[in-house]
Amino acid sequence: RCRSRSRARRAPPRAWPAGAGGPPPQPGWAWGSVKNFLIRVGVNGVALWVAALVLPGINLAEGDLGWGRKLWTIFFVAVIFGVVNAIIKPIAQLLSLPFIVLTLGLFIFIVNAFMLQLTEWLSGWLDLSFSIDQFFWDAVFGAIIITLVSWVLNVVLPEND
């Protein structure tokens, strides 16, 4: 007897439309993306806040602001910092690749300090309370502190894919 007759024939796999990139997203996909974004903004905000506490040359949400306004300022500066790191930092790293290789990766801290300085400029343009006094001492050491705090928080916090 032939076994092929007893098996049910399977339908061919469904092809996705060209350019769709795969199966449609699952029902909770949007919430996962928003949650991941908010966690990243929170990590950036905490890292910026710690850098402002440790270094006297970095001022974040200071003055006669109420706590609500301070938290919104930290949130918006963290969003700006995240956008700058997502869009401009890869370009800056690519352009500075010879210096990064030459210094065995230490030039990354200068690139990070530049991203912090660019965040300060954009925050000032949007009238947010964020300032850095000196580029080298404050921005570079601030970038080192932000890198360390972000690394520790990313190790501690779970990452949902």
- Taking CB atoms within 8 Å and a gap of at least 24, the contacts of 81-85 are 81/44, 81/48, 81/115, 81/116, 81/119, 82/40, 82/41, 82/44, 84/115, 84/118, 84/119, 84/122, 85/115
**How far is residue 61's CA from residue 161's CA, in Å, rounded to a whole number?**
32
* Mean residue pLDDT across the chain: 84
CB atoms within 10 A of CB 135: 15
- Residue 121 contacts residue 3 (beta carbons within 8 Å): no
Average pLDDT over every residue of 30-49 = 84
The DSSP letter of residue 128 is -
Task: Compute the 3-state secondary structure of the chain and give helix, strand, coil in percent, each to the nearest 5.
Answer: 65, 5, 30
pLDDT reading at 18 higher than 60: no
The mean per-residue pLDDT over the stretch 90-98 comes to: 96
Contact predicate 112/146, CB 8 Å = yes
Q: How many CB atoms lie within 10 A of CB 58?
A: 26
CB of 80 closer than 8 Å to CB of 60: no
Residue-wise pLDDT for 102-152, tens only, equals 999 999 999 999 999 999 999 999 999 999 999 888 999 999 999 999 888
Q: What is the pLDDT of residue 73?
A: 92
pTM: 0.75
